[in-house]
Amino acid sequence: MSDNSLIQQLLQNELFINISNDEKTHLNDNYFTKVHYKPGDIIIKENDISNELFLILKGIVQITRNTVAGKVSILITRKKGEVIGELGLIENKPRSSSVVSQTDVVLIKIEKDNLFEMLSLMPTLKTNINRIIASRFRQTIYQTSSEILKYQIMLELNQTIVAQKKELERLNGILERKNKELYQMAMTDQLTQINNRCFIMEVMAKTFSNNRRYQMIFSCILVDIDYFKKFNDIHGHLAGDFVLKKTAQLLKDLLRKGDYVARYGGEEFLIILPNTQIENAIIVAEKIRQTVEKAVYTYNNTTELKVTISLGLTNNLLNSPENEYQMIKNADIALYEAKKNGRNRVVAFSP
């Protein structure tokens, strides 16, 4: 805990008295909230939900209850070093009385879950809170050991429930992380480590739907590595895999934040350019084509490899595609024209 002065104040409170040095290491700033009240402020309201207890660092408070006649009866006062709100918290019942500040008051608020977490880490706290409960009953008409035992049992049950809740939260956190990892694996192409076809089709469907609804424009580019089968025949499939990975990373690096690229299949890649007119998509595609054409990939520290690409592109307005599949088909038609006209070129779809 970073605030040494607060530690000293805590150690003067009846809840933290006699805790060991080892137990002090479990004190955490996140467990405590310091709050201030002026005279007459309501700290706890009768019938409110019991979710926290308070440690009095400074001042005096009054415990009050509304009578049948509608008057306010002062039951007892509590001062610096004492605890308020512990019985209702343990009972899991609405507050049976109100707490009002009699003077300027400084309190430490401890949330229920934080209290029971500390009880599991600091055995002395449990001893202290049992002693406080016994002391409270000696000040009331309830003086039987059975009443004290009832609260001690409820204290144990609450502690068990909170511990189980924490464990469940921990396991849920692990499960959530694992699910994210599995989703990422399912949406990632294992060779190139960029997004795969499953991912890009999800994005394509959402983008197409949203852009139709809000009457916006987006473009897509279908990219194909030229003569890739021949390349594999000459250099081998391992070299082909190497070039696929390098080309995929190059495409990813060239795109803007908010654009998407994925391996669509084989040596094909699909790029989505949100909020992009066809003219700007052509500029992007040409920049990609030129960059790939100039790139030299050194394979096995000896062989220099080069490839070119053909690109077909379209947007969601050209030929009014009915869905994302029709739009990709239009891009594929443009890609076919690029290949037919000599490859290593950009062609925009023309209806």
Cα–Cα distance, 168 to 170 (Å, whole number): 5
Q: Check: CB of residue 110 under 8 Å from CB of residue 31.
A: yes
Other beta carbons within 10 Å of 34: 13
Residue with tokens 């990813």: 252
How far is residue 254's CA from residue 261's CA, in Å, rounded to a whole number?
10
Q: How far is CA 315 from CA 113, 134, 274, in A?
A: 54, 76, 10
Q: Where are the extended beta strands (E) located within 10-58?
A: 33-37, 42-44, 52-58
Q: Taking the CA of residue 253 as centre, how many other CA atoms within 13 Å lie in the half-sphere pointing to its CB?
A: 8
Tell me which residue of 168, 92, 124 sits closest to 27, measured CA to CA.
124
Residue 343 burial class via C-beta count within 10 angstroms: exposed 0-12, middle 13-18, buried 19 and up: middle
- Helix, strand and coil in the chain, % to nearest 5: 45, 25, 30
Q: Quote the tokens at residue 235.
A: 């250099």
Q: Closest Cα partner for 191 from 237, 160, 149, 154? A: 237
Distance CA 204, CA 198 (A): 10
Backbone torsions φ then ψ of 78, nearest 5 degrees: -130, 155
The catalytic residues are 267
The amino acid present at 140, given as its one-letter code, is: T
CA 178 to chain centre: 13
Q: Is 300 helix (H, G, I), strand (E, B) or coil?
A: coil
d(CA 347, CA 330): 11
Which residue from 127, 121, 166, 107 is spatially nearest to 28, judged by alpha carbons?
A: 121
